[in-house]
Amino acid sequence: MSAFDTILIANRGEIACRIIRSARALGYRTVAVYSEADAGAPHCEQADLATCIGPAEAKQSYLNAEAIIAAAKRTGAQAVHPGYGFLSENAAFAEACARAGLVFIGPPASAIAAMGNKAAAKRRMIEAGVPCVPGYQGEDQSDEALLREAERIGLPVMVKAAAGGGGRGMRLVQDKAALLPAIQAARSEAENAFGSGELILEKAVIDGRHIEIQVFADSHGHVIHLGERDCSVQRRHQKVVEEAPSPAADAALRSRMGEAAVAAAKAIGYVGAGTVEFLLDADGRSFYFLEMNTRLQVEHPVTEMVTGLDLVALQIRVAAGEALPLKQDEAVLTGHAIETRLYAEAPHQGFLPQSGLLAAWQPPEGLGIRVDHGLRAGQTITPHYDPMIAKIIAYGLTRDEARRRLIAALERTVALGIETNRGFLIDLLKHEEFAAGRASTRFIPQHFAAPARPAADDGLLAAAALLWFEHSAASLGHDPARAWSSTGRMAWPLLLDDGQAKRKLQIATLGPDRYQVEDKLLHVVQRRPDALRVAIDGTECDIAYCFVGDDLHLASGGADLTCRDVTYQLPGAAEAAAERELRAPMNGKIVAVLAAEGDKVKKGQRIVVLEAMKMQHEMVARADAVIDKLPVKVGDQVASRQLLAALTPNEVAKQP
Ligand code: MV4
């Protein structure tokens, strides 16, 4: 008999939805928790019960162990699934659950703790015979000891924070002169970030591949591995593309790495789902233990697609005390799966995270396509949490089939209202180096370090012209569909601003649903509330669109476009407005107010500082001015476009 019948999911977004799906399939009641910012989110609606655990800030909600345990108590949950991130690798939380009589659906607290410190973990792995990168993981942390050890290891070396993980607090040192400064900077950074300045040193493995092994252990002493995932395509330690199997692994390498991963899990008394990260050397044969993630990983779906297993269901079974339902030789990999992470971010602005309204959202469907997400159209992407919109995953019998399906799926994906990395993902998947299966950890820095803003798509511009034309015609009381018959051919000038340039376009009506925009012929074949089927110069395609405030967002194929109609905007009006008003560029929190109502300020003077997406945005006066209104204070949460300050520029004040 199982010890629990109700599972609380201590997480949000796509992973909460994912866990609810498997928990329900196994017959468990599910409890969602949510912060005030997530009230009414899909993960709440999908659970049997949902309960609020605190304010938007993660520290006060999803990271608040006491609030989560109290939520489990009041809803009658006897088990807690932590998902990934938040409290998933917090040994103290796992322990607190146990003390409260709750089953933690994850490894024992001791196993989490064993991998929490890189130095201790590495010493243990070396003892267990798991290959590690040659390095230093000793207790003497003096500058002298670290310098001496670095000399012994030989440059280049990696300096890593023992308490860090996922690449945080890591430094590559190429030459001797840079060594001491790097050690000192890394130590002080680690002290600030993790409360411990302990460092380890490793020989740097250049141009390696990040290959991780999925392991599973039950509480009866069985440990198996489920093959590897290749996560080499990363940007600043943020995974972007993940796949299984690795194009760099054959059966022999897989079983060697698998055995090492199983040994690692056994050495720490592991139970449940875990991932052992390795670096595969450029020689394609040597591999080294990096770290172990003691949780379900974001990228677990690719393993599910090639093994046919449900990893969340396995986690629950193991937590309920069942033995693993399969033996090592029953774990068979078939076909290939590739996952991409769709983020709300602007690749051409240094991948700046975006927040705001997801006005339209149509995840792709189709054979071999899986989308894990926890969103619906009309929802706001808040700056409080990770800006991942969805994981889009494709399966194929071959790697290239999976890759083609994924590209096509991304081209059908509609995510409008905020900028996303959709086009960037398509470009990555189409790159010849990725297509050939040769992308190493240097792939993104080498080929996509600073992606340019894609040129506006002519077809989308033509469709935008048509939609704005109909919009203005309707607001002036014309019926655009009839305009041609009463007045004959009508030409209408438009000035569209796509944030990059203002474009003059002429649109002329040729007949019902037939238009000419510049040199393109447009025939509207079908109208839906959120999309048009349009033939452009005789070739039909779907164009998804939505109006949000003054903006029109459109997407077709791999292209996106946002533009506004500025035909009747006086030149300079936007600049003049910017001198009179400071508005929040995105959702965020006011962290400093540096002026007061009535103050005289100089052009360029800072007035408020907004923190959004972990970055500070200084809002400065655009002209010498007097502050009329300053309706915000430190700590205020503000929405995108919200008024932060109203000013009267001196130039205006002087006018009679
Ligand atoms: C390394 C390394 C080279 N040599 N260690 C980054 C994530 C963290 N888990 C470990 N990481 C690395 N450790 C040694 N001794 C290079 C990386 C690394 C990396 C690893 C996997 C995927 C992408 C990466 C990008 C930069 C650096």
Distance CA 199, CA 139 (A): 9
How close is the Cα of 157 to the center of ligand 1, in Å? 11
Kindly indicate the confidence band of residue 168, based on its pLDDT and cuts at 50, 70 and 90.
confident
Position 619 scores a pLDDT of 83
pLDDT digits (tens, 9 = 90+) for 538-568: 999 999 999 999 999 999 999 999 999 998 7
Q: What average pLDDT does range 597-625 have in this prediction? A: 83
H or E stretch covering 148: helix 143-153
Q: Using a pLDDT cut of 90, give the percent of the chain over it.
A: 82
User: From ligand 1's centre to the CA of 81, what distance in Å?
Assistant: 29
Residue 350 CA to ligand 1 center (angstroms) comes to 21
Return the ligand 1 atom nearest residue 133 CA: 15
Give the pLDDT band of residue 573 (cuts 50, 70, 90).
Answer: low
DSSP code for 132: B
Residue 408 main-chain phi, psi, to 5 deg: -65, -40
Compute how many other C-beta atoms are within 10 angstroms of the C-beta atom of residue 283: 8
Within 10 angstroms of residue 252's Cβ, the number of other Cβ atoms is 9
Q: What is the pLDDT of residues 322-346, one digit of tens each?
A: 999 999 999 999 999 999 999 999 9
pLDDT at 165 over 90: no
Ligand 1 pocket test, pick from 290, 293, 446 with the greatest ligand atom count within 8 Å of Cβ, gives 290
Spatial neighbors of 371 by CB under 8 A, at least 6 apart, are 363, 364, 365, 390, 391, 392, 393
Split at pLDDT 50, 70, 90, the class of 489 is: low
pLDDT band at 121 (very low <50, low <70, confident <90, very high): very high
CA of 569 to the centre of ligand 1 (A): 51
Question: pLDDT over 70 for what percent of the chain?
Answer: 95
Query: What would you measure as the largest C-alpha separation in the chain, in angstroms?
Result: 89
pLDDT at residue 656 is higher than 70: no
Q: Is the confidence at residue 278, as pLDDT, over 80? A: yes
Tell me which residue has its CA closest to atom 21 in ligand 1: 210
Inter-residue long-range contacts of 448-452, CB under 8 Å, 24+ positions, other chains counted: 448/235, 448/347, 448/424, 450/348, 450/350, 451/347, 451/348, 451/424, 451/427, 452/348
Q: Say which residue, 173 or 576, is predicted with more confidence.
A: 173
| Mean pLDDT within 280-291 | 96
Q: What average pLDDT does the structure give for the chain?
A: 93
Q: Please report the pLDDT score of residue 493 as a whole number.
A: 84
Provide the β-strand partners of residue 612: 615
- Ligand 1 atom nearest to CA at 277: 9
**Residues near 131 by beta carbon (within 8 Å), at least 6 away in sequence:** 260, 286, 287, 288, 289
211 three-state secondary structure: strand
pLDDT over 80 at 47, yes or no: yes
Nearest atom in ligand 1 to 234's CA: 23
Residues found in the chain: 656
> Which residues line ligand 1 at a C-beta cut-off of 6 Å?
133, 158, 166-167, 202-205, 210, 232, 234, 237, 277, 279, 290-291, 441
Q: How far apart are CA 521 and CA 514, in angstroms?
A: 7
CA 491, 496, 500: angle at the middle one, nearest 5?
Answer: 150
Kind of pairing, strands 49-54 and 29-35?
A: parallel
Cα(384)–Cα(535) distance, rounded to whole angstroms?
42
- Which uninterrupted H or E stretch holds 273? strand 272-280
Q: What gap in Å lies between CA 360 and CA 553, rounded to an integer?
A: 9
pTM, full prediction: 0.88
Q: Report the range of poorest mean pLDDT among 227-236, 270-279, 631-640.
A: 631-640
Per-position DSSP letters for 214-251, written without gaps between them: EEEE-TTS-EEEEEEEE---EETTEE-EEEES-TT--H
pLDDT at residue 277 greater than cutoff 70: yes
Distance linking the first and last C-alpha atoms of the chain:
86
> Which has more confidence, 2 or 384?
384
The active-site residue, picked from 171, 295, 405, 422, is: 295
Look at residues 29, 25, 34, 72 and name the one whose alpha carbon lies nearest to residue 47: 29
Residue 150: strand, helix, or coil: helix
Q: How much distance in Å is there from the Cα of 464 to the middle of ligand 1?
A: 44
Check: CB of residue 287 under 8 Å from CB of residue 281. Answer: yes
Both tokens assigned to 459: 């077809």
* Average pLDDT of span 503-532: 93
Return the pLDDT at 583: 86
7 vs 569: which has the higher pLDDT: 7
Q: Whose CA is nearest to atom 6 of ligand 1?
A: 167
Q: Give me the mean pLDDT over the 172-196 stretch.
A: 93
Residue-by-residue DSSP string for 584-640: -SSSEEEEEE---TT-EE-TT-EEEEEEETTEEEEEE-SSSEEEEE----TT-EE-T
CA nearest to 618, candidates 636, 594, 642, 635: 594
Task: Provide the CA 450 distance to its chain's centre, in angstroms.
Answer: 18
Q: Residue of the nearest CA to atom 17 in ligand 1?
A: 167
Q: For ligand 1, what atom is nearest to the CA of residue 288? A: 15
pLDDT digits (tens, 9 = 90+) for 138-161: 999 999 999 999 999 999 999 999
Buried b (16+ CB within 10 A) or exposed e, 211-225: bbbbbbbbbeeebbb
- Token look-up 């929190």 returns 589
d(CA 241, CA 340): 5
Q: Indicate whether 351 pLDDT > 80.
A: yes
To the query of whether residue 412 is one of the catalytic residues in this protein, the response is no
Give yes or no for residue 584 having a pLDDT over 90: no
Contact (CB, 8 A) for 607 and 375? no
pLDDT of 475 over the 50 cut = yes
Nearest protein Cα to ligand 1, atom 10: 167
Whose CA is closest to atom 23 on ligand 1?
Answer: 441
Ligand 1 center–CA 167 separation, angstroms: 6
Q: What is the DSSP string of 64-99?
A: -HHHHHHHHHHHT--EEE--SSTTTT-HHHHHHHHH
pLDDT for the residue 15: 98
| Atom number, ligand 1, closest to the C-alpha of residue 206 | 3
In this prediction, residue 322 carries a pLDDT of 98
